[in-house]
Each structure stands twice: as structure tokens, then as C-alpha cells.
Amino acid sequence: MKEIKNFINGLYVTNVSGKTYEKRNPIDNSLIGMVYEAGQPEVDSAVTASRAALKGPWGKLSVVDRCAMLDGLVAEISYRFDDFLQAEIADTGKPAHLASHIDIPRGAANFKIFTDTIKNVSTESFEMRTPDGKAARSYGVRTPRGVIAIICPWNLPLLLMTWKAGPALACGNTVVVKPSEATPSTATLLGEVMNKVGVPPGVYNVVNGFGVNSAGSFLTAHPGVNGITFTGESKTGTAIMKAAADGIRPVSLELGGKNAAVVFADCDFENALATVTRSVFENCGQVCLGTERVYVEQPIFDQFVSALKDRAAAIKPGRPFDADTKIGPLVSKIHQKKVLSYYAKAKAEGAKIVLGGGVPDMPDDLKDGCWVEPTIWTGLPESSSIVREEIFGPCCHIQPFDTEEEVLNMVNDSPYGLATSIHTQDIGRASRLATQIEVGLCWINSWFLRDLRTPFGGSKQSGIGREGGLHSLEFYTELRNVMIKY
């Protein structure tokens, strides 16, 4: 039986309480291993080790030496690519083609982008006259913030964790990571890689467990933590922000969304269709940037609904390593229950079910997995909970519209503001809408196309702060001002 431990001060450790929980494979509900849940004593040890490491060899490394060590992680993750791939797939059930093209390579690349950033960033400098006729010069200095708590979700486990650990470590901080209880494996495995490349003990720590009354809340409440970066649901973000208020610790929050795709009649139909198919169904709809509201201009509404139905009907569920598998299961039984409750609610609210709405018929050995059908609805009012609430499954509601003003109002009538995509050949209209739609990320004739130097984050209830390139330094460093009187 596989044991998934905590990684504290360079060592794999169990716990004082003896508490473990089962980690099951979402494709068939088979038992993968037992996870040692970190309690207060383990979180205390991890934060203590992390604080000590700030003053130890890690804190004394030059930026160049620190970055060279972190660049070594990229090579070592690539060397152990298959171990990371197997671990991520066992935890999530996602198709191998997805994990091997996105999760693991991007998970590794997140270290390199930020070592490049921190080595090349400059700070401002100003000279001024003083009242006594002499002069003074101010200049900025970036210092690490300290111990960073990283709280992660389960949808892109390694990728989203290193999106935070990468810049945090490049900036000279130390980290305590709390992976999702549903996906503990790759963050824990990364401890071996840290040791291999010589990252000193205490710089990277992992505490496994749940949120409330477990590793998550013990970590966010810990007074030894200097900043908290979180990706997950908006209501969890609220709880974390409250915990961060004690001690006035800064937070960076990447939260939920109810993202729209807007398809105008003049779009490149095939491109819009292929892009919306991806944005709705990729990773079984478990992508924070994914589309759950599709708005299609009236003249092509019927044609688009029918074409999307055909595309979605061809998305074959199956085992991660089967060549023809196009979609995996949801991450857990808990999440499957949540998504299916929305499928039932759509029916009860009177939606027209264009496709899906239930559990697919799977072979006997996969029947106990967390499968749901790709699902498309039409016919609901904008006030419906299906159109307003984040479901986080492979599903969307499609609404027709007549005018630009009408669709703008519908898209903005949401408490969320994470991402949108606009499909049109009229670039003037697309640019106009891109500034009027209240989101942090807007794609035109594309989706999930990322240049890692650019800001990433949400507005409204989708988050606080921006990460990516230079923008990550806002959170992971303290910018000090030094003034010299000549």
C-alpha cells in the first residue's frame, strides 16, 4: 500500500495523531494509497523549518546561484517526467495526452520563467534636491517576503502549485505547500526533486490534509506565515482572507469563475466551434478559465448549437492511457455528486437538454469511477442557478443574443470576473468589448493561450492580485525604498 507522507525540513514524515485518509483513483474508485494528514504539530514544524531556512544557506545564496539551483528542478522534473505523469494521472484520472502536454511540462516551466524574471528585473531610482541645496537619491530594493503559505486546488495540481512556488522561491522566500486533499501526490513527490538538486531543507515543505480544522486552516492561521497565496473556490478565499486579517498578512487569491464565450455571426465558424469545444470540455470542464456560459448571435444560433452538440457527442470517455480517450472522469465522488446535482437542477428548472445530463455507460471495471456526460443546455433564463453558479464540470448553457449591448450586459451580470473569449472577425468590436467586459483575462478568437510574462488573475469575486512575470513580484517580494542624503 502506497503511503503519502508530509515533506518537512527535507524529510518525509508521518504525523503525531496517526490520522490517515484514503486517496482513491477517480477512474474506478480503486485505492491508490493512504495519506498522512498533517495536524497542528506538523504545520508548526513545517513553518519553523521554513523560518529557519530563510536565515540559513538559502538566505545567503546569491540570486544567480539560487536561480541556478531552481533551474536544476526543471531538468530533474523532465528526467522524472514519467513518475510525475503517473502520479498526476492516478490522482486526477485525466487523459495522458493532456497531462503530458500541459500539467507536467508547464509545472516544470513555471520555475524557469520566474528565475529569468528575477535575474533581469530592475528597480527605480530618483535623485532630488534637498532644502539645504544638496542632493539625495532614492532607490528600490526587493527583498523576500518570508514564509509563504501556498494553498492549492485539485484541477491542475502540479501546474498551479509551481505557478506559486516558482516565483516564491525565485524571489528568495521559503514555502509551505498545502495541496488539495484530492491530489496530494505530485507536490509530495517534488520533495524528492528538491533534495536531489540540493535545495536546502526547510525551503520547500508539504503538509497534506483538508481545509477546515486541518492542515489548510492551521497553516493560514499560523503567525509564522508572512503571506498566503491561494487558488480555489471564492467562498474558501473569503475564509482565507479572514484568517489573513490576523497579523495583517497579504493574500493573493485566484478564485472561481462563470466564464462566458461570445460568438458573433461573423466569426470564423470552425475556429470558434473548435475553441468553444475545448473551453467547455477540456479537463472534463475542470479548468478555472473554462466556459460555462456561451452566447451566440441569433443568425447562427441553431447552427452553432447543433455543431457543438456533434463535437461534444464525439468526446469519448475512457482510461487515461487509451489512445482514443478524449475525456477523463471528474476528480472525486464528492465533485461528481455536486455536478450531477446541477444536472438534476437544470432539468428541474426546465432546461432543454441538447446533450448529456447524466452518467455515461462505462465498461464494468470503470463503472465505479466519477464519470459524467458532456452536457449542453439551452432555454434557461439568465437568472437560473445553472447560468449564475460555477459548476466546474463538462457543461454549458447556450443563450442567443441580438445586439452587442445586450450580450455585454448579460456577460457582465455575474458576481465573477475571471475570463472570457470573444469570437468575431471585427477586431474593432472585439477590442471594444475586451475593455468593457469585467474580467481579468480576455481572449479574442482563442482561449487559454498564455504568455507567462503577462498578468493572470480575476476581478470581482474571481480574485485579488495578478500573478505572472513581473506581476508576481508584487506579492512575493517586499519593495523597500532606500534614500541616501549626499
Nearer of residues 283 and 424 to ligand NAD, judged by Cβ = 283
Nearer to ligand NAD, 20 or 123 (CB): 20
Report if residue 32 touches ligand NAD, rule: CB under 6 A.
Answer: no
- Residue 15 near ligand NAD by CB under 6 A: no
Q: Which stretch binds ligand NAD (CB under 6 A): 53-61, 123-131, 133-141, 154-162?
A: 154-162
Query: Of 28, 88, 91, 390, which lies in the binding site for ligand NAD, with binding defined by CB under 6 A?
Result: 390
Tell me how far apart the 2 most distant CA atoms of the chain are, in Å. Answer: 86
Q: Which of 224, 209, 99, 202 is nearest to 152 (CA)?
A: 209
Q: What's the order of all strands across the beta sheet hosting 20-24?
A: 2-4, 31-36, 20-24
The phi and psi torsions of 17 (rounded to 5 degrees) equal -75, -20
Q: Which residues contact 35 (CB under 8 A, 6 or more apart)?
A: 4, 20, 21, 22, 23, 181, 184, 208, 209
The residue whose Cβ lies closest to ligand NAD is 211
Q: What does the per-residue mask of binding to ligand NAD show for 321-360, with x meaning CB under 6 A?
A: ----------------------------------------
CB of 233 to ligand NAD, least distance (A): 3
Looking at the DSSP bridge assignments, the partners of residue 128 are 136
Report, in Å, the least distance between residue 464 CB and ligand NAD: 11
Could you tell me which residues come within 8 angstroms of residue 474 by beta carbon, excluding any fewer than 6 positions away?
Answer: 465, 466
Cα–Cα distance, 417 to 477 (Å, whole number): 26
User: What is the rounded CA–CA span in Å between residue 120 and residue 77?
Assistant: 24
Residues 6+ apart with CB under 8 A from 245: none
The DSSP secondary structure of 108-176, one letter per residue, reads: HHHHHHHHHHHHH----EEEEE-TTS-EEEEEEEEEE--EEEEE--SSSHHHHHHHHHHHHHHTT-EEE
Catalytic (active site) residue 284: no
Q: What is the DSSP-derived secondary structure letter of residue 48? A: H
Contact set for ligand NAD, span 445-474 (CB under 6 A): 458, 462-463
Of 267, 288, 370, 396, which is the active-site residue? 288
The answer to whether the beta carbons of residues 393 and 330 sit under 8 Å apart is yes
- Specify the stretch interacting with ligand NAD by CB under 6 A; choose among 54-62, 113-121, 212-220, 310-318: 212-220
* Residue reference for cell 507536467: 104
Dist CA 40 CA 224 (whole Å):
13
Residue type, 288: C
> Which burial class, exposed, middle or buried, applies to 246 when counting CB atoms under 10 A from its CB (0-12, 13-18, 19+)?
exposed
Report, in Å, the least distance between residue 83 CB and ligand NAD.
22
239 binds ligand NAD (CB under 6 A): yes
Cell numbers linked to 287: 479548468
* Segment near ligand NAD (CB under 6 A); pick from 64-72, 227-235, 361-369, 376-384: 227-235
Residue from 42, 91, 254, 282 in contact with ligand NAD (CB under 6 A): 254
Residue 452: alpha-carbon gap to chain centroid: 14
Find the shortest distance in angstroms from Cβ 213 to ligand NAD: 9
213 or 409: CB nearest ligand NAD: 213
Question: Binding to ligand NAD by residue 297, rule CB under 6 A?
Answer: no
Per CB under 6 A, the list member of 181, 282, 292, 297 interacting with ligand NAD is 181
Residue 178 in the binding site for ligand NAD (CB under 6 A)? yes
Residue type, 232: G
Burial label for 335, CB within 10 Å (0-12, 13-18, 19+), is buried
Total residues at interface with ligand NAD (CB under 6 A): 32
Report, in Å, the least distance between residue 331 CB and ligand NAD.
8
| 155 belongs to the binding site for ligand NAD (CB under 6 A) | yes
Nearer to ligand NAD, 58 or 342 (CB): 342
Which of 217, 275, 325, 461 lies at the binding interface for ligand NAD (CB under 6 A)?
Answer: 217
Q: Which of 37, 88, 254, 282 is catalytic?
A: 254
CA angle 74, 79, 84 (to 5 degrees): 85
Q: Is 411 in the site for ligand NAD (CB under 6 A)?
A: no
Residue 367 C-alpha cell reads as: 463503472
Pick from 288, 312, 386, 464 the residue near ligand NAD by CB under 6 A.
288
Query: In this chain, which stretch among 52-60, 100-108, 187-195, 209-217 interacts with ligand NAD, using CB under 6 A?
Result: 209-217
In whole angstroms, give the CA distance from residue 74 to residue 197.
Answer: 10
Helix, strand, coil abundance in the chain, percent, nearest 5: 40, 25, 35
Asked about 22 being catalytic, the answer comes back as no
180 binds ligand NAD (CB under 6 A): yes
Binding segment for ligand NAD among 8-16, 153-161, 348-356, 367-375 (CB under 6 A)?
153-161
Which residues are known catalytic residues?
A: 254, 288
Positions in the binding site for ligand NAD (CB under 6 A): 151-155, 160, 178, 180-181, 210-212, 216-217, 220, 231-233, 236, 239-240, 254-257, 288, 390, 392, 418, 458, 462-463
